[in-house]
Amino acid sequence: MNTISSFLDNATLGPFRDFLALFALPADRVIEALAYLGAFLILCELTRLGLGTTFTRSKLAQVLRSLLTFPVQAILLAAVLAWAAHQHPERAWINVGYALLLYAVWYAAGQLVLLARPDTEGADLGFMTVGALITFPVGVIAALV
């Protein structure tokens, strides 16, 4: 218990502020932000693959796999587009293009997952279309506002 309270007493919000600043997609750090977002998309696909092969009978793993199929990625990208448009309104349309590039990364990662396990939903265009219907309207509305 002492260790936990010591950890909480010394905790800082610094790293979270750095991520928020990075996910505003500033012009001088856009490559780093896209690399983090792309790595997150790939990690979601690999986690989904690992859960499907390791915990085949777990209900919790099935729920996590379902969430990692598209909603987590789509909602994160929508939130990033809204946040970036709020922070840098002049770059909002460029950021929508970056989101399209990240969808290509997501599709490629899903195709690689399909190579490893053909019975998964990796890079399923139906799921990705539903994800795009979450992400891109938010980005377009944020760019218009």
Over residues 75-132, the pLDDT tens digits come to: 999 999 999 999 999 999 999 999 999 999 999 988 888 888 777 766 678 888 898 9
Over residues 6-29, the pLDDT tens digits come to: 777 777 777 677 888 888 989 999
CA distance 57 to 130: 27
CA distance 79 to 85: 10
CA distance 88 to 139: 13
What is the Cα Rg of the chain in Å? 17
Task: Note the pTM of the prediction, 2 decimals.
Answer: 0.84
